[in-house]
Amino acid sequence: MAARHTASLLAGLLVLLHTWGAWAAVEVNMKDKVEVYLGETAQITCMYTSEDGIGGTIIKWFYVTRSGGEQEIYHYDSIKRDATKNTPYSNRISVNVTVGEVVLTISDVQVEDNVEFICLVKGLTEDMKGKTKLRVFAKPKPPTIRGAQTGISVNEADLSLIGTCEVKNGYPKPNITWYKNNNPLRSTPNVVDVKSSVTQSSGLYLVSSELKLKVEKEDKNALFYCEATYFVPGIAKMMETPPINITVLYPSTAVNIWVESPKGKIKEGDSVELHCRGNGNSPSMFSIRHTKSEAGWDVDTLVLENVTRLHSGTYQCTQTDMDTFEELSDNTTVFINYLDPVVLTPSEAVGDHGKDITITCNALSSLPTETTWFKNGQKVGKGHSLTLKDATFDSAGTYVCMVSVPEIKGMETSSSLRVHVKGPPEIKEEALNEIETFEKTVDLSCHVRGYPTPRITWSTSDGKLIKAASETETEVGAKSVVSVPVDSDSSVFCNASNELGTDGVTFNIKAKIPIHTTTPATTTTTIPKAPVKTETPTTSKKTKTESKGVIIAVIIICILLLAILGSVLYFLYKKGKICNRSGKQDITREKSSRDNIVVEMKSDNTEEAILLGVNGDKQPPGDQ
Ligand X SMILES: *[C@@H]1O[C@H](CO)[C@@H](O)[C@H](O)[C@H]1NC(C)=O
What's the closest the beta carbon of residue 313 comes to ligand X, in angstroms? Answer: 9
What's the closest the beta carbon of residue 75 comes to ligand X, in angstroms? Answer: 17
From 130, 161, 409, 478, select the one nearest 267 (Cα to Cα).
409
Specify the residue, 98 or 149, whose C-beta has the smaller distance to ligand X. Answer: 98
- What is the distance between the alpha carbons of residues 255 and 331, in angstroms, rounded to a whole number? 9
What's the closest the beta carbon of residue 341 comes to ligand X, in angstroms? Answer: 12
Residue 590 dihedral angles phi and psi, to the nearest 5°: -60, -45
* HSE-CB of 147 using CA atoms within 13 angstroms: 18
C-beta of residue 127 within 8 angstroms of C-beta of residue 26: yes
- What is the distance between the alpha carbons of residues 594 and 176, in angstroms, rounded to a whole number? 121
Q: Which stretch binds ligand X (CB under 6 A): 280-288, 501-509, 530-538, 583-591?
A: 501-509
279 binds ligand X (CB under 6 A): no
Containing 402, the helix (H) or strand (E) segment is strand 397-404
Specify the residue, 308 or 596, whose C-beta has the smaller distance to ligand X. Answer: 308
C-beta of residue 132 within 8 angstroms of C-beta of residue 31: yes
171 binds ligand X (CB under 6 A): no
DSSP tag of 201? E
What's the closest the beta carbon of residue 209 comes to ligand X, in angstroms? Answer: 12
What's the closest the beta carbon of residue 438 comes to ligand X, in angstroms? Answer: 26
Of the candidate residues 151, 397, 452, 504, the single one contacting ligand X (CB under 6 A): 504
236 binds ligand X (CB under 6 A): yes
413 binds ligand X (CB under 6 A): no
224 binds ligand X (CB under 6 A): no
Can you give 518-546 as a three-state secondary structure string?
A: CCCCCCCCCCCCCCHHHHCHHHHHHHHHH
- What is the distance between the alpha carbons of residues 60 and 117, in angstroms, rounded to a whole number? 11
- What is the distance between the alpha carbons of residues 364 and 384, in angstroms, rounded to a whole number? 12
179 binds ligand X (CB under 6 A): no
C-beta of residue 278 within 8 angstroms of C-beta of residue 290: no
253 binds ligand X (CB under 6 A): no
Specify the residue, 245 or 525, whose C-beta has the smaller distance to ligand X. Answer: 245
Q: Which stretch binds ligand X (CB under 6 A): 225-233, 344-352, 356-364, 447-455?
A: 225-233
Q: Which amino acid is at 131?
A: K
Specify the residue, 302 or 598, whose C-beta has the smaller distance to ligand X. Answer: 302
- Provide the pairing of β-strand 33-37 with 127-137: parallel
Specify the residue, 155 or 333, whose C-beta has the smaller distance to ligand X. Answer: 333
Of the candidate residues 319, 495, 519, 606, the single one contacting ligand X (CB under 6 A): 495
306 binds ligand X (CB under 6 A): yes
Residues present in the chain in total: 624
Which 506-545 residues touch ligand X, going by CB under 6 A?
506
Q: How far apart are the first and last CA of the chain?
A: 139
271 binds ligand X (CB under 6 A): no
Size of the site for ligand X (CB under 6 A): 25
From 262, 346, 341, select the one nearest 304 (Cα to Cα).
262
Which 334-373 residues touch ligand X, going by CB under 6 A?
none
Q: What share of the chain is helix, strand, coil (3-state, %, to 5)?
A: 15, 45, 35
Of the candidate residues 49, 110, 164, 316, the single one contacting ligand X (CB under 6 A): 316
Of the candidate residues 49, 114, 208, 229, the single one contacting ligand X (CB under 6 A): 229
460 binds ligand X (CB under 6 A): no
Quick note: the x/- pattern for ligand X over 77-106, rule CB under 6 A, is -------------------x-x--------
Can you give 296-347 as a three-state secondary structure string?
A: EECCCEEEECCCCHHHCEEEEEEEEECCCCCEEEEEEEECEECECCCEEECC
Judging by beta carbons within 10 Å of its beta carbon (0-12, 13-18, 19+), is residue 138 exposed, middle or buried? Answer: buried
230 binds ligand X (CB under 6 A): yes
What's the closest the beta carbon of residue 111 comes to ligand X, in angstroms? Answer: 16
174 binds ligand X (CB under 6 A): yes
Of the candidate residues 107, 253, 279, 291, the single one contacting ligand X (CB under 6 A): 291
Residue nearest to ligand X (CB): 504
From 490, 472, 489, select the one nearest 481 (Cα to Cα).
472
580 binds ligand X (CB under 6 A): no
Q: Which stretch binds ligand X (CB under 6 A): 65-73, 352-360, 498-506, 511-519?
A: 498-506
Please report the beta strands in 171-280, taking only residues with DSSP state E, as ranges in sequence order.
175-180, 183-185, 192-201, 204-213, 224-232, 235-240, 248-249, 255-261, 266-267, 272-278
451 binds ligand X (CB under 6 A): no
Of the candidate residues 78, 199, 245, 345, the single one contacting ligand X (CB under 6 A): 245
Specify the residue, 175 or 441, whose C-beta has the smaller distance to ligand X. Answer: 175
Of the candidate residues 188, 197, 314, 592, the single one contacting ligand X (CB under 6 A): 314
Specify the residue, 84 or 256, whose C-beta has the smaller distance to ligand X. Answer: 256
Of the candidate residues 74, 117, 231, 286, the single one contacting ligand X (CB under 6 A): 231
Specify the residue, 101 or 352, whose C-beta has the smaller distance to ligand X. Answer: 101
Q: For 325-347, b where at least 16 C-beta lie within 10 A, e where not — what string?
A: eeebebebebebbbbeebebeee
- Provide the pairing of β-strand 70-76 with 81-83: antiparallel
Specify the residue, 89 or 230, whose C-beta has the smaller distance to ligand X. Answer: 230
C-beta of residue 509 within 8 angstroms of C-beta of residue 486: yes
293 binds ligand X (CB under 6 A): no
Q: Which stretch binds ligand X (CB under 6 A): 70-78, 133-141, 240-248, 442-450?
A: 240-248
Of the candidate residues 37, 297, 374, 493, the single one contacting ligand X (CB under 6 A): 493
- What is the distance between the alpha carbons of residues 165 and 143, in angstroms, rounded to a whole number? 7
Q: Which stretch binds ligand X (CB under 6 A): 51-59, 191-199, 226-234, 448-456?
A: 226-234
Q: Which stretch binds ligand X (CB under 6 A): 150-158, 227-235, 412-420, 518-526?
A: 227-235
From 53, 94, 42, select the one nearest 73 (Cα to Cα).
94
Contacts of 146 (CB under 8 A, 6+ apart): 163, 164, 165, 244
Containing 550, the helix (H) or strand (E) segment is helix 537-564
DSSP tag of 603? T
483 binds ligand X (CB under 6 A): no
243 binds ligand X (CB under 6 A): yes
Specify the residue, 84 or 175, whose C-beta has the smaller distance to ligand X. Answer: 175
Interface contacts to ligand X, rule CB under 6 A = 96, 98, 174-175, 223, 229-231, 236, 243-245, 269, 291, 306, 308, 314, 316, 331, 493, 495, 502, 504-506
